[in-house]
Chain A
Amino acid sequence: MAARGMPAEACVGQLVLPGDVLLLPAHPDEDGERLRLGAGAARRGRLLCGPGLRRGGAGLMVTKCGLLRHRPAGGGSGGGAFWVDSQQKRYVPVKGDHVIGIVTAKTGDLFKVDVGGSEQASLSYLAFEGATKRNRPNVQVGDLIYGQFLVANKDMEPELVCIDSSGRASGMGVIGQDGFLFKVSLGLIRKLLAPKCEIIQELSQLYPFELVLGMNGRIWVKAKTVQQTLIIVNILEACEYMTAEQRKQALAKLSGN
């Protein structure tokens, strides 16, 4: 196993494999290979070690294969971040993620919601905007919920809530009755959620539609007619394997119709 590591900056945008060690730039007043994260003074800021990376002895150890990404230190968000962009289909609940869940059971004052992970998440009926003991939300088994994880670690069952920290819904809650739900890979979801995503922009030229993206790979779409909804569903599913030119061609054909 290679003991030496590559400097992290050099690997940004390239493929890294599990077991690779990334060295962070040494600060002048520190040991060359020792890594300090966040323990320093405020002026250095905290370097965020994101998904796919783990703090190892000599630096950052890669645990997933994928492309290394870096966000440079900017204004309020501290000393920058490194993470690995990897591809998978199975979702693991992470705190703070917004996901689409399907209600499977209604027991007392708790809903059981399937989010695609190994365990079902629990959702309290009070975790909706404006919900009180008397004023219960109207949620049936089989409904779709858009919420975020309050608690998500590997030791406990995850907890969903449909309000944010200030008590407002901000878009979360029960998703409307029509529309269609389907599943794609997690990488595609992150691509679609990126700001100024080309795919979404091109699709919105076609016809108006509503779209909800869950970080667990689930997408809910609603357009005016069944045909339009099906078209959007098929294009989004095919986006995984289509290059940009193929996608433009397909959309050009459709908008020509």
Chain B
Amino acid sequence: MRETPLSNCERRFILRAVQERKRLDGRQCYDYRNVRISFGAEYGSCIVELGKTRVLGQVSCELVPPKPNRATEGILFFNLELSPMAAPAFEPGRQSELLVKVNRLIERCLRNSKCIDTESLCVVAGEKVWQIRVDLHLLNHDGNIIDAASIAGIVALCHFRRPDVSVQGEEITVYTPEERDPVPLSIHHMPICVSFAFFQEGTYLLVDPSEREERVMDGLLVIAMNKHHEICTIQSSGGIMLLKDQVLRCSKISAVKVAEITELIQKALENDQKVRKEGGKFGFAESIPNQKITAFKMEGVAVDTKDVEEQAEEIITKADPPSEVFTQPILHTPGTAQIGEGIENAWGDLEESEREETADEEGETDATAFEWEKIKMEDTSITNETEKDEPIVLSDSEEEEVVILEPQAPPRKTRTQANLKQENTSKKTFNKKRKKKRVAH
């Protein structure tokens, strides 16, 4: 879809506001928006919200052969995707420039800074190493994708646990999480990107630009730093000329910001750890606040549920109550009885041999097949007449019925599956003289 164009009056207004040191959402020039980190149920998945910008990060691992020229190091793979749900302008096929730029920046920030110890990812030198894959998805675009993505990336990596591995000679054993606790990655430091937007040829500077501000800015400076004040990556785009003291000022600001954000991340990680250890609930579902007004508020009942109750009662009264069924077996010949109707017994040979044996007891019947199947509560469509004199016809319900009889004991009491909660009918021992078995369908 086409992006909504920026009108002249918006552009002028934002520039005027920047000159007066005012921002659209009331922040100060060097203020970040609210950072909110929530973790998923799996290790290594997190959602970072920077104001309204949301990024989902997911880390996974796999054992692969290492690169030939780096036989003792693990492999890191980063992938950021701009989901079409993030902004109407993002389409699956064609986001090229912005996508490449952000991907490269995240890679440089997280890979080239050597924040992950790749040597520790080696299992068998030259043969098997861990490949760690970080997938970042942009869920909503409200400016400053780079910062949000870098926070999501490093948080997901810190949160991730890989399976424990032991090597004995030539054998590698990978333990499941049940056998041995998974092991966290070895992370040296946490690089975080901080973005600065420049206006009016570098005169004015804003930290953490929102989407509108990004559209109007002249240039962008991104500094990736960790809490030890080491600069991991620095990139300036937009072609603006920056003076030395401007860059130094930015790096001082980013040192302060990175310290705050790192503290926030540590706290979030600790909280999550605590909740998991205490057995509390964790995951994305828990982090969504309840009672949040997302629409117009209305007093009183919104949905008229009067009809629903009436309908429900109707259904209940119209339905037949499940009845206790006593079916009378039909005696064809001595030793052969039938209960209900059904298809012909498909146990060909067995039938012949059984017919040779005669039964002493009259009307002895046998248990039919028991298929234990699930009881369907709604199935009340079987109508059974309980007159004892006539043969009982069981209806053609889809449900197979289990007809279980007690041997040697007239009158036979048949309990069909239509009676709902009777799945603990005792498993009946087969009569040796199995006469004729009919499976009622």
Contact = CB atoms under 8 A, between A and B. Distances in A.
A178 B14 CA distance: 11
A241 B296 CA distance: 6
A87 B8 contact: no
B9 A177 contact: yes
Decide if the interface of chain B is mainly helix, strand, loop or mixed: loop
A116 interface: yes
Interface stretch (B17-25, B219-227, B350-358): B17-25
A203 to B, nearest CB: 17
Interface stretch (A38-46, A154-162, A228-236): A228-236
Contact of A87 (B9, B10, B296): B296
A184 B2 CA distance: 19
Interface in A91-140: 102, 104, 114, 116, 120, 140
B17 A178 contact: no
Q: Which of B10, B17, B295 has the most CB of A within 10 A?
A: B10
A15 B302 contact: yes
A151 interface: no
Contacts of A220: 9
A226 B20 contact: yes
A14 B17 CA distance: 44
Contacts of B293: 241
A175 B295 contact: no
B16 interface: yes
Given A178-B12, A178-B13, A226-B20, A234 B297 contact: no
Given A15-B304, A230-B24, A181 B10 contact: yes
A227 interface: yes
B284 to A, nearest CB: 22
Interface string A15-55: 10000000000000000000000000000000000000000
Given A178-B12, A178-B13, A187 B296 contact: yes
Interface residues of A, number: 30
B22 A230 contact: yes
Contacts of B20: 226-227
Contacts of B8: 140, 142-144, 177
B9 A144 contact: yes
Contacts of B16: 226
A181 B8 CA distance: 10
A102 B22 contact: no
A179 interface: yes
Nearest to B298: A67
B140 to A, nearest CB: 14
A104 B20 CA distance: 29
Contacts of B303: 15
Nearest to A220: B9
Interface residues of B, number: 26
Nearest to B1: A118
A240 B69 CA distance: 59
Contacts of A102: 4-5, 7
Interface in B1-48: 2, 4-13, 16-17, 20, 22, 24-26
Interface in A159-189: 175-181, 187
B13 A180 contact: yes
A142 B17 contact: no
Interface string A184-223: 0001000000000000000000000000000000001000
Given A114-B4, A116-B4, A179 B9 contact: yes
A230 B4 CA distance: 21
B294 interface: yes
Interface string A236-254: 0000110100000000000
Contact of A142 (B7, B26, B302): B7
B295 A87 contact: yes
Contacts of B304: 14-15
Given A14-B304, A104-B5, A144-B7, A177 B12 contact: yes
B17 A226 contact: yes
Contacts of A14: 304
Contact of A229 (B5, B13, B25, B297): B13
A140 B11 CA distance: 14
Contacts of A230: 17, 22, 24, 26
A181 B296 contact: no
Nearest to B14: A180
A229 to B, nearest CB: 7
A257 B9 CA distance: 28
A255 to B, nearest CB: 17
A234 B26 contact: yes
Interface in B57-104: none
Contact of B9 (A178, A187, A233): A178
21 contacts: A15-B302, A87-B295, A87-B296, A102-B4, A102-B7, A114-B4, A120-B2, A142-B5, A142-B11, A143-B8, A143-B9, A144-B9, A175-B9, A177-B9, A178-B12, A180-B13, A187-B296, A226-B20, A233-B24, A234-B25, A240-B296
Interface of A: 14-15, 87, 102, 104, 114, 116, 120, 140, 142-144, 175-181, 187, 220, 226-227, 229-230, 233-234, 240-241, 243
Given A102-B7, A142-B7, A233-B24, 18 more contacts: A15-B302, A15-B303, A114-B5, A116-B4, A142-B5, A142-B6, A144-B7, A177-B8, A177-B9, A177-B12, A179-B9, A180-B13, A181-B10, A226-B13, A226-B20, A229-B13, A234-B25, A241-B294
